[in-house]
Amino acid sequence: DTTVKQNPRYKLARVGKPVNLICSQTMNHDTMYWYQKKPNQAPKLLLFYYDKILNREADTFEKFQSSRPNNSFCSLYIGSAGLEYSAMYLCASSRALGGRQDTQYFGPGTRLLVL
Amino acid sequence: GEQVEQLPSILRVQEGSSASINCSYEDSASNYFPWYKQEPGENPKLIIDIRSNMERKQIQELIVLLDKKAKRFSLHITDTQPGDSAMYFCAASIASSSFSKLVFGQGTSLSVVP
């Protein structure tokens, strides 16, 4: 089973309110990623967890937080949503193969609309 | 940081003909180049990938070429079918033991017309 699940699939949020998105995988992958995708733009890596270590991209460091309570789950947290956060959020996971990370498997995404 | 340029952004081909998508990258340390296909309402799915120790890889009608000197790689779909219509993303990555940090191209919207 190479399924990555994301909840919810659609999220409506108000400006200034927090948003929490959930991702899960049962493949025992040690690395989980979060990407942001806006229309006509490439998916952009926001952060990733390798095991329990969180790595956030420099240009989105202050905007997104994440937690990984166990190997299967990873959340993406926005403390105060702004209009610019409206996008598709894609979760992915990968495992170590032959000493390096292998294919990333993507979830269906959560479409966030901030009003 | 790494940037990946993907062209064309829109591609329309006749059924049965070939389709080619080209990508270029900047970081010579990149060692892994996957291609993803995304259909409307679906998540991106890996269709083929190539590592830096190869120059060519083929899976059925999909061919990927990698030119490390020029820092370019390309996807060729031979004998296109309507089911090949989708968004295609290339990506470049440095795959280490702890992560595979993908940098995606902008995407190509491929339409295969009868």
Return the higher-pLDDT residue of B3 and B90. B90
Mean pLDDT taken over chain B: 93
pLDDT-based confidence at residue A2 (cuts at 50, 70, 90): low
> What DSSP designation does A103 have?
P
A60 touches chain B (CB under 8 A): no
| Contact at CB, A100 and B101, closer than 8 angstroms | no
Q: Give the mean pLDDT of A44-48.
A: 94
Does pLDDT of A99 surpass 80?
A: no
Does pLDDT of A3 surpass 90?
A: no
Question: Is the backbone of residue B32 left (phi > 0), alpha (psi -120 to 50) or beta?
Answer: beta
Return the higher-pLDDT residue of B14 and A98. B14
Residue A101 to chain B, least CA–CA distance (Å): 5
Buried b (16+ CB within 10 A) or exposed e, A22-34: ebbbeeebbbbbb
Q: What is the per-residue pLDDT for B1?
A: 66
Residue A18: is the preceding peptide bond cis (ω within 30°)? Answer: no
Does pLDDT of A98 surpass 80?
A: no
Mean pLDDT taken over chain A: 92
As a whole-number percent, the residues of chain A with pLDDT over 70 amount to 98
Q: What is the per-residue pLDDT for B100?
A: 80
3-state secondary structure of A83: helix
CA B45/CA B36 separation, integer angstroms: 5
Interface test mutation site (partner A, options B5, B30, B43, max chain A beta carbons within 10 A): B43
| Contact at CB, A90 and B44, closer than 8 angstroms | yes
Q: What is the per-residue pLDDT for B97?
A: 77
Q: Give the mean pLDDT of A70-89.
A: 96
Q: Give the mean pLDDT of A20-30.
A: 95
CA A110/CA A23 separation, integer angstroms: 10
